[in-house]
């Protein structure tokens, strides 16, 4: 009797595990996006690489119209290297590019937009330290340093490569 009960419980646990594992949406499945109240606010499709990282995210509005998509690229160490945002018609809107130091800490995050110009955030030991903002003509228009949990505008240091341009 105990063997049958043990076998039955084992069967139930394995079945529960398989059901839970199989209930994850398939790659590219059309899935509703819900807010904290459970209301559907849109729909999405996500695609993954062999490591399980998202490589493409398609977003649809609440009326199921295709809205935009994001492409994700990873470096040889599996860290996010670039995320590019596109309108539904395929026109690139903006991107973020990331680089890392030898210890694997985030060293630099670049933002670029044809409409808004660009911004470069530098990190020291994985913590934001400097921010440089450029206009659409790639001219430096603002330099800020991060101190005491706030961004403060500062003079561009004379030893900075941007000062020589």
The pLDDT of residue 148: 85
The pLDDT of residue 3: 55
> How far apart (Å, rounded) are the C-alpha atoms in residues 161 and 165?
7
Q: What are the Cα distances from residue 134, in Å, to 28, 84, 108, 112, 146?
A: 37, 19, 15, 9, 18
The pLDDT of residue 138: 82
pTM beyond 0.85? no
CB 42 within 8 A of CB 33: yes
The pLDDT of residue 147: 87
Q: How confident is the model at residue 115 (pLDDT cuts 50, 70, 90)?
A: confident
- Residue range 26-53, pLDDT digits in tens: 888 999 999 999 999 999 999 999 999 9
Mean pLDDT lowest for which of 94-98, 101-105, 157-161?
157-161
Domain positions in the chain are 2-164
CB 46 within 8 A of CB 59: no
Q: What are the Cα distances from residue 122, in Å, to 2, 3, 22, 27, 46?
A: 64, 63, 42, 35, 30
What CATH number does the domain located at 2-164 have? Answer: 2.40.128.720
């Amino acid at each position: 009797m105990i063997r049958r009960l043990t076998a039955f419980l084992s069967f139930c646990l394995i079945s529960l595990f398989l059901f839970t594992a199989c209930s994850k949406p398939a790659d590219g499945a059309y899935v509703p996006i819900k807010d904290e109240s459970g209301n559907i606010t849109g729909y999405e499709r996500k695609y993954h690489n062999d490591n399980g990282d998202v490589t493409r995210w398609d977003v649809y509005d609440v009326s199921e119209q295709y809205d935009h998509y994001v492409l994700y690229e990873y470096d040889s160490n599996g860290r996010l290297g670039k995320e590019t945002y596109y309108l539904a018609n395929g026109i690139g809107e903006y991107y973020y590019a990331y680089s890392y130091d030898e210890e694997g800490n985030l060293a630099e995050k670049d933002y670029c937009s044809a409409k808004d110009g660009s911004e470069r955030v530098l990190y020291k030991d994985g913590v934001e330290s400097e921010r440089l903002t450029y206009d659409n003509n790639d001219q430096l228009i603002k330099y800020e340093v991060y101190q005491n949990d706030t961004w403060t505008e500062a003079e561009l240091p004379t030893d900075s490569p941007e000062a020589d341009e």
